[in-house]
Structure 1
């Protein structure tokens, strides 16, 4: 198992759209294990394969329990949104903003064994936000895309400073 390098904004590879996983084979299991190791190492609650430059529709979550989502698809979203919970992102370190998200969602996906899952986030706003955030990654979208241009430019400067201070090579 490996700790994978997380792509940092503004890396353009974060904008790539993930591909459908056609078969859950040994390689898929290795990707899932490496995603989990990377998630736990970085003390995150959600990570998409896109964030580690693997453009497959795979998400790992650790909210109350470990959840693996392969080919997740949003099948229901409530009319009501929430916009008062701040989001963070391992690809945009130390930046937290509130963005509008659906209060309740329902998704279908496969687990790591190929079993069909239906997840309803009713009454679990953190789960709802996290799943939407990670599905956005699979579609090449970042949570900061919901922000104003001014806020995005401030974030861009902060991230460049973070990269320079931490001597992170791209």
Structure 2
């Protein structure tokens, strides 16, 4: 059985592309170190990647991809990771909060009806990610199973844009 997707793997690829100059994230207005990259990793899949960037170094990132609707509203799955050297400093929490502000500013005016969800599916044994999700999304997660791996997980959900 496969493992729950690890956002750190994507973070390493993002970091390499940033250093090589093959991607150029755009600065965001809400935070001086926050940048965003909008891309289509595969046909039909839109992805927004927010990162704290200094020069050619990303310290942490959060990736948003459209997931299945929740309660009749759009829902974005979020995954996040922090560079090993910067862990334990609260950067992931700060980044998720700042990126949700940017996501809400950009998306809310485009919705036909107000409101959309952000959700994180976190493995029950991932202590660091559970702390970030509790601080940013919800302190009352729902028990679930990860759809890809089948492993026990927790679903953290937050409604934005209302």
Instruction: Give the structure with the higher percent helix.
Output: 1
Instruction: Give the structure with the higher percent strand.
Output: 2
Q: Does the TM-score normalized on the shorter chain lie above 0.5?
A: no
* Higher RCO, 1 vs 2 (CA within 8 Å, ≥6 residues apart): 1
Task: Tell me the TM-score normalised to structure 1 length.
Answer: 0.27
Task: Tell me the TM-score normalised to structure 2 length.
Answer: 0.28
